[in-house]
């Protein structure tokens, strides 16, 4: 990438989260990821660079050990002309969701991460014959904390995601809670997984997006603007499930296509990725703690029907969900166990700054 020839008009707003904002190139299959901060917590260029280096190092040295070379793009840090960054910020500002504008894109350091745009990979050569489908899922934390440091009993019964759903509805971020529960998706039980994925499709929020040839066709562009019409989704997906494209239509067609989509996603998530030769990382046990969440809509449905046991088939070793759960379970202490240790280290470094 020739940074000295950067033109803000060649880039467009792609999306953002709490910590960073992403823009994508209009022709090339690359994105730029910028850090964000509140106006009263602006970081220095050195702090921005250090933060980005930590992200890259974490991808290289931790995530690649779990998923393997083919499944992790750690990106590279580049320094951009400040004038380009400022003009780009002005260009995309009207497209940003209002609820995200409490934080500003970093325009002072010029540092950003350059990554491939996986919604339309450059190596895909069949796009002209059949559209490319990209599904982005944020599965969230797939286990109940089992740490002895947890002080609130509710945290041993209800997963973090389900608790946050009720909080976000109470705060007005979402109109209604999603029926999705991460523990259902990570259970390995196909019935529970199908229920979880269907729930994600019903209330995508910002946890599921579907792209066709790089364009968002389903999911939330932001916290309020949701494209969640199943009939419209089915129209886009017909070429994948009905090559005749148009001979079948109506509610039955929509239900069939959505059902097939859920089946394909489930099979993909459970399929082995061992051919990618993931590094030799010590296996983290995935069976500790409770295997279901008391707030799960699937669990509540079972109880209503007089059944009191949720089946958890377990995840095949080597599948994407198994490796994701392994990575998540590096957090064995929970924040209640980790934060006191962090505070002790922080206090020590304040007393002995030369040790930093």
Nearest CA among 140, 154, 143, 134 for reference residue 329: 143
> How confident is the model at residue 124, as a pLDDT?
53
Query: By the 8 A CB rule, do 241 and 249 touch?
Result: no
Nearest CA among 45, 43, 42, 20 for reference residue 33: 20
Q: What one-character-per-residue DSSP string does 285-311 give?
A: PS--S-SS-TT-HHHHHHHHTT-----
As a whole number of Å, the CA-based R_g of the chain is 22
> How confident is the model at residue 97, as a pLDDT?
86
Q: Tokens 């500003």 correspond to what residue?
A: 104
User: Could you tell me where the DSSP H helices lie in the chain?
Assistant: 45-58, 64-67, 82-92, 160-170, 182-185, 190-202, 230-241, 251-270, 297-304, 320-328, 334-351
56 CB neighbour count, 10 Å cutoff: 14
> How confident is the model at residue 244, as a pLDDT?
52
How many whole angstroms separate alpha carbon 328 and alpha carbon 337? 16
86 CB neighbour count, 10 Å cutoff: 15
Q: What one-character-per-residue DSSP string does 126-164 give?
A: -TTTS--EEEEE-----S----TT---GGGGTS-HHHHH
> How confident is the model at residue 278, as a pLDDT?
43
How many whole angstroms separate alpha carbon 100 and alpha carbon 109? 21
Nearest CA among 339, 18, 337, 329 for reference residue 183: 329
Which residues on adjacent β-strands are paired with residue 13? 23
Please give the torsion angle defined by the CA atoms of residues 160, 162, 168 and 174, in that order, rounded to the nearest 10 degrees: 140
> How confident is the model at residue 283, as a pLDDT?
42
> How confident is the model at residue 2, as a pLDDT?
76
> How confident is the model at residue 274, as a pLDDT?
65
Domains belonging to the chain, first-starting first, are 3-116 (3.30.200.110), 133-335 (no CATH)
pLDDT tens digits in sequence order for the chain, 356 residues long = 777 789 999 999 998 888 999 999 998 999 999 999 999 988 999 999 999 999 999 999 999 988 988 899 989 999 999 999 999 999 999 999 888 899 999 999 999 999 999 998 766 555 556 678 899 999 999 999 888 899 999 999 999 999 999 999 998 888 889 999 999 999 999 999 999 999 999 988 889 999 998 888 998 754 444 555 888 898 889 888 875 555 567 778 888 899 999 999 999 999 987 654 444 444 444 556 678 899 999 988 887 777 766 666 789 988 999 999 999 999 889 999 999 999 999 999 999 999 88
Helix, strand, coil distribution of the chain in percent, nearest 5: 45, 15, 40
pTM of the full structure:
0.86
> How confident is the model at residue 291, as a pLDDT?
85
State the chain's maximal CA–CA distance in angstroms.
74
């Amino acid at each position: 990438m020739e940074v000295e020839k950067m033109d803000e008009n060649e880039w467009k707003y792609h999306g953002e989260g709490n910590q960073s904002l992403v823009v994508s190139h209009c022709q090339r299959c690359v994105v730029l990821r910028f850090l964000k901060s509140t106006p009263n917590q602006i970081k220095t260029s050195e702090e921005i660079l250090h933060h980005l280096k930590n992200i890259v190092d974490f991808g290289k040295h931790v995530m690649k050990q779990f998923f393997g070379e083919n499944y992790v793009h750690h990106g590279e840090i580049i320094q951009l002309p400040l004038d380009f960054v400022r003009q780009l910020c002005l260009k995309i500002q009207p497209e940003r969701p209002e609820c995200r504008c409490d934080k500003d894109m970093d325009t002072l350091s010029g540092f950003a991460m350059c990554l491939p745009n996986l919604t339309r990979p450059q190596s895909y050569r069949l796009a002209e014959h059949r559209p490319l489908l990209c599904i982005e899922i944020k599965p969230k934390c797939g286990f109940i904390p089992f740490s002895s440091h947890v002080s609130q009993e509710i945290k041993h019964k209800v997963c973090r995601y389900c608790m946050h759903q009720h909080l976000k509805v109470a705060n007005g971020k979402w109109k209604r809670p999603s029926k999705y529960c991460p523990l259902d998706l990570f259970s390995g039980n196909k019935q529970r997984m199908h229920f979880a994925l269907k729930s994600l499709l019903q209330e995508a929020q910002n946890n599921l997006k579907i792209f066709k040839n790089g364009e968002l066709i389903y999911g939330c562009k932001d916290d309020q603007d949701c494209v969640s019409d199943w009939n419209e989704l089915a129209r886009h997906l017909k070429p994948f499930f009905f090559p005749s494209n148009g001979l079948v239509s109506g509610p039955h067609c929509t239900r069939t296509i959505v059902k097939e989509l859920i089946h394909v996603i489930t099979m993909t998530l459970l399929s082995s990725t061992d051919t990618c030769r993931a590094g030799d990382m010590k296996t983290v046990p995935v069976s500790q703690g409770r295997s279901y969440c008391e707030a799960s809509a699937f669990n509540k449905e079972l109880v209503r029907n007089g059944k009191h046991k949720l089946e958890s088939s377990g995840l095949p070793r080597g599948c994407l969900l198994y490796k994701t759960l392994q990575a998540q379970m590096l957090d064995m202490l929970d924040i209640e166990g980790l934060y006191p240790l962090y505070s002790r280290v922080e206090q020590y470094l304040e007393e002995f700054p030369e040790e930093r």
